[in-house]
Structure 1
Amino acid sequence: MTEFAVGLFCSVLFLGLSFAINRRLRHGPLAFDPYRALLMASAVFALAVPLEALVDGFYATARGQLLWRYDILPRHGGSVSALGALIWPAYGLHLYWLLQVLEQRLPEGWRGRLLQALIIGLDAPLFFEVTGNLLFLAITGRYYAYYLPGELWHLTSWQVVPIYMLCLFLGLTILQRLLAMRPRALLPPGLYLAGLGFVWLG
């Protein structure tokens, strides 16, 4: 099985797991607006890949080593993977459903971006990254993203949690503004192509 085939399989498997968990947490059907879902998927990809390169680069400068290293189709010195073109949009769809759960389950007055960023900042490394790495290890025997700190068996690291929370607050602010705009058919594919361009330039 090629690396892209494994990435596609893991993305679909993760989406199925995400849908089932979020539907159960919501105690009912999840909304699905095709435009909003595609916008979330493409925007998350376009935002995530440059932030990966930026954050990992800063960490390496400060600490003398990368925080994570992609072992499958690495780009930008190992801080980004070409499989991000599949993996990050899948996470964007997971985020689309997770935000619906938070809107329903959090008490009114506690639904702001700050608390959402704090919660998702735990979800991203402890659910998304651990699940992804375990799937890749089970299928290929290799990590997708190998975390140099070893306190969580190199599947993820506690050190990324505050970084993710900060990045998520910024990302959720941008996503909210994009979702508030009048729908534009070319925006989701344009964002996706921007993400692809960044990946392949590395």
Structure 2
Amino acid sequence: MFAILLKGGMGLVFGLAFLYGMWRLIARRPLHCHAPTALMYMGTAFPVFCFFEVAVGHGHTWVFGQPLWQYQIQPIHGGQTSLYNFAIWPLYGWHLYLCEQTLAHMTLSRPMRSSAQALKHTCSGPLLEILANIGMLSALGRYYFYYLPDDLWHLTSVQVVPYYALTSLLFSWVIMKVRRIARPLTVGAMGYLIGLSIILWG
């Protein structure tokens, strides 16, 4: 367990820096981050995406007769998620926070802004999955998660886009609600504890 915490923690630190650098390049300016709000996004993303990853994974298997993906490294919940996702899903919350910060400071027409929001909800997750899997294949020679469809070389799949869109929209709704009723740090801490319970329950 210590090795998992150490490797996951190192991956978290690397991911924080990588995603910040990526969005800074896209924004073409330094991003001024409000730490409590960023932690709220990270802590809330963990349970929301982890829960729906497991639920959607099992639901897809039940409907279509085979899983859409299988985790290859420290799999839990029947291979639908991984022990290392205590770091991965908070990073996705960080990514969404930086994306919103970037869009807020960009001068875009209404159609362009709507298109950017749509891409955030539908395509950013699969694109990050491709990067994560390429990184794992380069470093360890193994997929982090293996998609059974081969439409995108098993790195991700077009079939996951609707699931990301629905869960991302739900996440945005949850963020909108919880930020009105509690302090960001409280929301983030509670969310992270709920996420850990999902991981440990597996």
Same fold (TM over 0.5): yes
- In 2, Cα distance between the equivalents of 1:28 and 1:120? 23
Corresponding residue of 1:190: 190
Q: Percent identity?
A: 34
Corresponding residue of 2:162: 162
- In 2, Cα distance between the equivalents of 1:185 and 1:24? 28
Within-5 A mapping of 1:78-157: 78-105=79-106, 107=108, 109=110, 111=113, 116-126=117-127, 128-157=128-157
RMSD: 2.2
Q: Output one character per residue of 1:30-61: Cα deviation in whole Å (capped at 9) or x when no partner.
A: 12111101110010001011100111111101
Corresponding residue of 1:55: 56
- In 1, Cα distance between the equivalents of 2:109 and 2:27? 16
Corresponding residue of 2:174: 174
Deviating 4+ runs (over 6 angstroms): none
CA contact (8 A) 1:133 1:155 kept: yes
Corresponding residue of 1:70: 71
Q: Shift in Å at residue 185 of structure 1?
A: 4.1
Aligned residue pair count: 200
* Structure 1, gaps ≥5 residues long: none
Corresponding residue of 1:30: 31
CA contact (8 A) 1:30 1:100 kept: yes
**Which has the higher mean CA deviation after the structures are superposed, 29-38 or 115-124?**
115-124
* Structure 2, gaps ≥5 residues long: none
Amino acid at match of 1:168: S
Q: Output one character per residue of 1:48-76: Cα deviation in whole Å (capped at 9) or x when no partner.
A: 11100111111101111111111111111
CA contact (8 A) 2:99 2:120 kept: no
Q: Secondary structure at the match of 1:146?
A: strand
Q: Secondary structure at the match of 1:19?
A: helix
Amino acid at match of 2:154: H
**Which has the higher mean CA deviation after the structures are superposed, 68-77 or 117-126?**
117-126
Q: Shift in Å at residue 106 of structure 1?
A: 6.1
Amino acid at match of 2:199: V
Q: Output one character per residue of 1:131-161: Cα deviation in whole Å (capped at 9) or x when no partner.
A: 1111111122111111111111111001111
CA contact (8 A) 2:16 2:94 kept: yes
With normalisation by structure 2, the TM-score equals: 0.89
